[in-house]
């Protein structure tokens, strides 16, 4: 960790905000190209998501060998992943290794929150300031601030009254938490909760889970990686990476997927008879992980098809959860499968068979308020549940949250917040008109959170580098997205989303989890393969929709 001295008017070729996967790779590419850069990071070390989310059970749901950088064959060869889905500590170690191996830390200033980024039209330059008193200038700013980096404080009456320890999964204490002998409450049943609940249940004396909306979850079938399998995978790494970039399995990995197994992918979930349908679903269920969404091609387009697959998952939940009433409460019915992020779990449903675990259905008994000592329920139950500790697995202000916290001013002093007041607008999710030379890695309007994000991050960083090279070759100082191209892209992103079932859930993809946030489907839902083709077409067409000056 390098705290370093304060920047006072220093000038760099580029300033990067954030030192997660995106910030690290961006700084590596700039360094390699002989450019100077400064990275500011709020955390005390690299890692981003994996620095902050240290809750028990945190791990990736894209397979380890796919959820890793592809830019360096040496790095690929030397790093050994130990499990199919790497744990948070392992991913954090990996990112620390990347920072050391490529000597990236010397450009990073830790424990610095960027507060402002203002564009000076005359100087064609950005000035960035931090809460540590830094002020630095650069012609280019790259926002690598993360899509899930601003934990959401839920609007629950009395939250501040709770006098015992409470923890956000997205800002977990570094020293860990020992729940032994405690009565613990978990609010939320999204991915973070679903990963942590089985482990907290093993530790705690009693665990109460407060569920407002059940989530679909598929088993991870995690296991240690067989060194022989890894060696064979690495032999063929380039081909795997190529397929991931094309969007096969969204690049979530292909551990157990041989091409022949794709033959069983259903064109429509409505076609096969019951026995064939069950067999195919079971086959995908046994593979484990997010691949399950590929069981039928029409699943994300056709409600009936989706409902048939959802029924299969409901049956699976009922098979595992012994108490029929609890099983029913765990079955999601208010939105189509896959329209909220599919969770991937290790023993989540089985955890409800434990004697020390209770599920509270907030639909029937909403939280009335948090008291000094626990959770007061209203409705049918009406009781107070006393707790020694409370875990808030309540999600993030996704995709736009981190950008909205920075005072970003572009041409004419206009702010990004004003520009995005009715929802984010960006060309390719990569640049925002009126904000020249400012790039948003995995920004709204790109596949981003619907993909294996390392693939999307690498693609955007590479595109930034191509764009800078184009500027140089044209002798340009400024690149900007055209307003018209941006309008067209935003309309296209909406059109694609509307053709799917994705808007049928009150998901964070739509901003529905943040009171007052405009409801706009933020990621681009056509997939990483299609998106890559679009970007390549734009570049081949002389950077269509971008102006260089
Ligand atoms: P981040 O890792 O979020 O890093 C952004 C950094 O920017 C943060 O460290 C933050 O502190 C810093 N920052 C933000 N604002 C400022 C500011 N104003 N000033 C200074 N610094 C700032 N994706 C997958 O594809 N597969 C997975 O399996 C997966 N698992 C996940 C598990 C969890 C628990 C979570 C929360 C997310 C997961 N994701 C997963 C998404 C994950 O966020 C991305 O995969 C990836 O790590 C994002 O990298 P990033 O560098 O873009 O952003
Ligand atoms: O957050 P979430 P998350 N009262 O928003 C509930 C990635 N990720 O941190 O659905 C009661 O999904 C809320 O209820 P509802 C992944 O992309 C990946 O779990 O709004 N409950 C919901 O149940 C993921 O999608 C992994 O009704 C309240 C929960 O809190 C994203 O990060 C692991 C409430 C929030 O769920 C976010 O996941 C972890 C209230 N007032 C994260 N407010 C992997 O497995 C909110 N809730 C790779």
Pocket of ligand 1 (CB under 6 A): 17-23, 40-43, 48-49, 51, 53, 58, 60-62, 67, 113-114, 144-149, 192, 402, 405-406, 441-442, 452-453, 457
Angle, CA 485 vertex, CA 482 and CA 486 arms, to 5°: 85
User: What pLDDT is recorded for position 259?
Assistant: 43
Query: Nearest ligand to the C-alpha of residue 209?
Result: 2
Tell me: pLDDT of 488 over 80: yes
Closest residue CA from atom 8 of ligand 2: 191
String of DSSP letters for 353-375: GSTTEEEEETTTS-EEEE-SSEE
CA 145–ligand 1 middle distance (angstroms): 7
Average pLDDT of the residues in 458-480:
98
CA proximity to 532, closest of 264, 248, 183: 248
Fold agreement (7-150+397-548, 159-216+338-392)? yes
Tokens of 197: 């609940």
* Ligand 2, pocket-test mutation among 187, 197, 222, 394, most atoms within 8 A of CB: 394
Instruction: Kindly give the number of the ligand 1 atom that is closest to the alpha carbon of 113.
Output: 19
Tell me: pLDDT of 489 over 90: yes
Burial of residue 412, with CB atoms counted within 10 A of its CB: 0-12 exposed, 13-18 middle, 19 or more buried: exposed
| d(C-alpha 232, C-alpha 31), whole Å | 32
Tell me: pLDDT of 254 over 80: no
Q: 448-475: b or e for each residue (b if 16 or more CB lie within 10 Å)? A: bbbbbbbbbbbbbbebbbebbebbeeee
Q: What is the pLDDT of residues 150-177, one digit of tens each?
A: 999 999 999 999 999 999 999 999 999 9
Tokens of 452: 């294996």
User: What pLDDT is recorded for position 290?
Assistant: 86
CA proximity to 138, closest of 117, 115, 110, 122: 117
Pocket of ligand 2 (CB under 6 A): 60-61, 148, 154-156, 169, 187-193, 195, 210, 212-213, 341, 344, 362, 393-396, 449, 508, 513
- Which of helix, strand or coil describes residue 93? helix
Q: What is the pLDDT of residues 361-379, one digit of tens each?
A: 999 999 999 999 999 999 7
Structure confidence at residue 486 as a pLDDT band (50, 70, 90): very high
Q: Are strands 114-120 and 125-130 parallel, antiparallel or unpaired?
A: antiparallel
Query: Nearest ligand to the C-alpha of residue 145?
Result: 1
Average pLDDT of the residues in 230-242:
91
CA 72–ligand 1 middle distance (angstroms): 21
User: What pLDDT is recorded for position 509?
Assistant: 98
User: What pLDDT is recorded for position 384?
Assistant: 93
User: What pLDDT is recorded for position 252?
Assistant: 63
Tokens of 488: 């067209």
Query: Nearest ligand to the C-alpha of residue 453?
Result: 1
User: What pLDDT is recorded for position 247?
Assistant: 76
CA proximity to 24, closest of 75, 59, 65, 66: 75
**CB within 8 Å of 331: residues ≥ 6 apart:** 214, 313, 314, 317, 318
- State the alpha helices, DSSP H only, in 288-337: 303-320, 324-330
- Which of helix, strand or coil describes residue 386? strand
Q: How far is CA 14 from CA 400, 481, 539, in A?
A: 22, 18, 22
| Architecture per CATH, 159-216+338-392 | 3-Layer(bba) Sandwich (3.50)
| d(C-alpha 171, C-alpha 385), whole Å | 24
Q: How long a stretch of residues is the chain?
A: 549
User: What pLDDT is recorded for position 256?
Assistant: 47
CA 189–ligand 2 middle distance (angstroms): 6
Backbone angles phi, psi at 67, to 5 degrees: -90, 65
- Asked if residues 369 and 158 have their Cβ atoms less than 8 Å apart, the reply is yes
* Ligand 2, pocket-test mutation among 83, 212, 385, 392, most atoms within 8 A of CB: 212
CA 75–ligand 2 middle distance (angstroms): 33
| d(C-alpha 424, C-alpha 431), whole Å | 11
Say what percent of the chain tops pLDDT 70: 96
Return the bridge partners of 392, or none. Answer: 168, 187
- Which of helix, strand or coil describes residue 419? helix
CA proximity to 401, closest of 202, 158, 150, 111: 150
CA 217–ligand 2 middle distance (angstroms): 12
Tokens of 68: 């890793």
Return the bridge partners of 367, or none. Answer: 377
Return the bridge partners of 345, or none. Answer: 219
Average pLDDT of the residues in 92-117:
98
Q: What is the pLDDT of residues 43-86, one digit of tens each?
A: 999 999 999 999 999 999 999 999 999 999 999 999 999 999 99
Q: Where are the domains of the chain?
A: 7-150+397-548, 159-216+338-392, 227-320
Instruction: Kindly give the number of the ligand 2 atom that is closest to the alpha carbon of 212.
Output: 27
Tokens of 73: 């064959």
Q: What is the pTM of this model?
A: 0.97
CA proximity to 126, closest of 13, 280, 267, 227: 13
- Determine the CATH number of domain 7-150+397-548: 3.50.50.60
Query: Nearest ligand to the C-alpha of residue 391?
Result: 2
Q: What is the pLDDT of residues 517-532, one digit of tens each?
A: 999 999 999 999 999 9
Structure confidence at residue 265 as a pLDDT band (50, 70, 90): confident
Q: What is the pLDDT of residues 5-52, one digit of tens each?
A: 899 999 999 999 999 999 999 999 999 999 999 999 999 999 999 999
Burial of residue 71, with CB atoms counted within 10 A of its CB: 0-12 exposed, 13-18 middle, 19 or more buried: middle
Structure confidence at residue 253 as a pLDDT band (50, 70, 90): low
């Amino acid at each position: 960790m390098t705290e370093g001295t304060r920047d006072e008017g220093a000038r760099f070729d580029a300033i990067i905000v954030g030192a997660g996967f995106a910030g690290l790779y961006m700084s590596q590419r700039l360094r390699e190209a002989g450019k100077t850069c400064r990275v500011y990071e709020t955390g005390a070390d690299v890692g981003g998501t994996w620095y902050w989310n240290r809750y028990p059970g945190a791990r990736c749901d894209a397979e380890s060998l796919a959820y890793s950088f592809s830019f360096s064959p040496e790095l690929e060869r030397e790093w050994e992943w130990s499990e199919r889905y790497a744990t948070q500590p392992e991913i954090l170690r990996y990112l620390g290794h990347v920072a050391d191996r490529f000597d990236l830390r010397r450009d990073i200033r830790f424990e610095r929150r960027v507060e402002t980024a203002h564009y000076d039209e005359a100087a064609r330059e950005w000035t960035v300031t931090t809460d540590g008193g830094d002020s630095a200038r650069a012609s280019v700013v790259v926002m690598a601030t993360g899509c899930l980096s601003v934990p959401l404080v839920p609007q629950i009456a009395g939250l501040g009254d709770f006098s015992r320890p409470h923890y956000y999964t997205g800002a977990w204490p570094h020293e860990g938490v020992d729940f032994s002998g405690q009565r613990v409450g978990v609010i939320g049943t999204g991915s973070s909760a679903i990963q942590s609940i089985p482990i907290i249940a093993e530790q705690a004396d009693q665990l109460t889970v407060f569920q407002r909306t059940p989530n679909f979850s598929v088993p991870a079938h995690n296991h240690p990686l067989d060194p022989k399998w890894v060696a064979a995978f690495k032999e063929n790494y380039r081909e795997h990476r190529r397929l991931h970039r094309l969007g096969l399995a969204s690049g979530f990995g292909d551990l157990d997927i041989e091409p022949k197994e794709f033959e069983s992918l259903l064109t429509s979930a409505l076609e096969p008879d019951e026995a064939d349908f069950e067999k195919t679903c079971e086959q995908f269920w046994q593979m484990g992980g997010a691949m399950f969404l590929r069981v039928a091609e029409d699943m994300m387009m056709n409600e009936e098809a989706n409902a048939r697959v959802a029924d299969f998952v409901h049956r699976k939940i009922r098979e595992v959860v012994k108490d029929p009433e609890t099983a029913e409460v765990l079955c999601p019915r208010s939105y189509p499968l896959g329209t909220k992020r599919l969770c991937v779990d290790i023993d989540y449903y089985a955890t409800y068979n434990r004697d020390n675990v209770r599920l509270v259905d907030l639909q029937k008994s909403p939280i009335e308020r948090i008291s000094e000592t626990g959770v007061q329920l209203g409705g049918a139950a009406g009781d107070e549940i006393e707790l020694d500790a409370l875990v808030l697995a309540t999600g993030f202000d996704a995709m736009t949250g981190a950008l909205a916290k920075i005072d970003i001013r572009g041409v004419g002093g206009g702010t990004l917040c004003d520009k995005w007041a009715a929802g984010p607008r960006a060309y390719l999710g990569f640049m925002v008109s009126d904000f020249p030379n400012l790039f948003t890695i995995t920004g709204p309007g790109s596949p981003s959170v619907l993909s294996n994000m390392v693939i999307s991050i690498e693609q955007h960083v590479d595109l930034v580098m191509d764009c800078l090279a184009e500027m140089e070759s044209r002798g340009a100082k400024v690149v900007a997205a055209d307003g018209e191209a941006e309008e067209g892209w935003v309309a296209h992103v909406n059109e694609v989303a509307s053709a799917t079932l994705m808007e049928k859930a009150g998901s964070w993809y739509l901003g529905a989890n943040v009171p007052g946030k405009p409801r706009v489907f933020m990621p681009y839902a056509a997939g990483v393969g299609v998106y890559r083709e679009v970007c390549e077409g734009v570049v081949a067409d002389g950077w269509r929709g971008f102006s260089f000056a």
